[in-house]
Amino acid sequence: MSGKLNIETGVSEEGAPATGVSGKVAGVEIVAAQPAHCDALRDVHVKTWAVTFRDRVPDEFYRERLAMHRVRDWAEVVRRQTAVGGGVVAATDNGHIAGFCQYGPTEDEDDDPGEVGHIHRLYVDPLHQRKGIGRTLLSAATTRLRQRGMSAATLWVLETDERAQAFYRRLGWKPDGERKSGSTPDLRYRSLLV
């Protein structure tokens, strides 16, 4: 079911492009998020979430979630995620946060958190999309999961979000057959890390 991910490039080893694809983006640095980054993480998340999901989810869901995202304590998110063996990596472009990825052990009951990592959030500021930053962040997160002994990783993506699914499929991730139903159904994607 799963595609094999090259953890150095973040690209599927099946059908990887011949040239010009790298896990690194000129001028962009990947760093572990620090307390000083937390306001910027919140701002990137709120801005990107709002733009991405405005026309993709029911209005009430949109308003409720956006209100939650606006008041999220990112210092606490980073602290808690780090405490359970994960973290948040941020992409900085000339000192500004252009995107981030929150990763850690799976919280799904049907997977072993000692074996399976999870991408909890991946957001790239719309002004910085399609420059390779999402790919680089995902690669940084999956590399760290692999270094912590994980052999696979999963993530949930909105069933109707073709753009995000195209991004993950391009990097070798595949739907594993699990689906969360509800007003905003999600599909689970999976990738091997070894």
Ligand X SMILES: CC(C)(COP(=O)(O)OP(=O)(O)OC[C@H]1O[C@@H](n2cnc3c(N)ncnc32)[C@H](O)[C@@H]1OP(=O)(O)O)[C@@H](O)C(=O)NCCC(=O)NCCS
Tell which positions 134-173 bind ligand X, by CB under 6 A: 134-135, 155, 157, 161, 163-164, 166-167, 170
Distances, alpha carbon 12 to alpha carbons 6, 88, 123, 162, 169, in Å: 6, 23, 20, 18, 8
The answer to the question of residue 174 lying near ligand X (CB under 6 A) is: no
The answer to the question of residue 130 lying near ligand X (CB under 6 A) is: yes
Smallest CA-to-CA distance from 95 within 152, 146, 28 is with 28
Q: Which of 28, 57, 116, 122 binds ligand X (CB under 6 A)?
A: 122
Q: Which of 12, 92, 102, 129 binds ligand X (CB under 6 A)?
A: 129
Nearest residue to ligand X, by Cβ distance, number only: 134
Can you tell me the distance from the alpha carbon of 194 to that of 146, in angstroms, rounded to the nearest whole number?
7
Strand 116-124, strand 96-105: pairing: antiparallel
Q: Which of 38, 133, 140, 192 binds ligand X (CB under 6 A)?
A: 133
The residue (of 114 and 174) whose beta carbon lies closer to ligand X is 174
Can you tell me the distance from the alpha carbon of 44 to that of 81, in angstroms, rounded to the nearest whole number?
18
The answer to the question of residue 187 lying near ligand X (CB under 6 A) is: no
The residue (of 48 and 102) whose beta carbon lies closer to ligand X is 48
| Contact region with ligand X (CB under 6 A), list: 58-66, 70-78, 118-126, 177-185 | 118-126
Spell out the residues 6+ positions from residue 64 whose beta carbon is closer than 8 angstroms to its own: none
| Contact region with ligand X (CB under 6 A), list: 69-77, 81-89, 117-125, 146-154 | 117-125
> What is the distance of C-alpha 18 from the center of its chain?
25
Smallest CA-to-CA distance from 72 within 107, 44, 105, 53 is with 44
Residues forming the site for ligand X (CB under 6 A): 48, 52, 122-124, 129-135, 155, 157, 161, 163-164, 166-167, 170
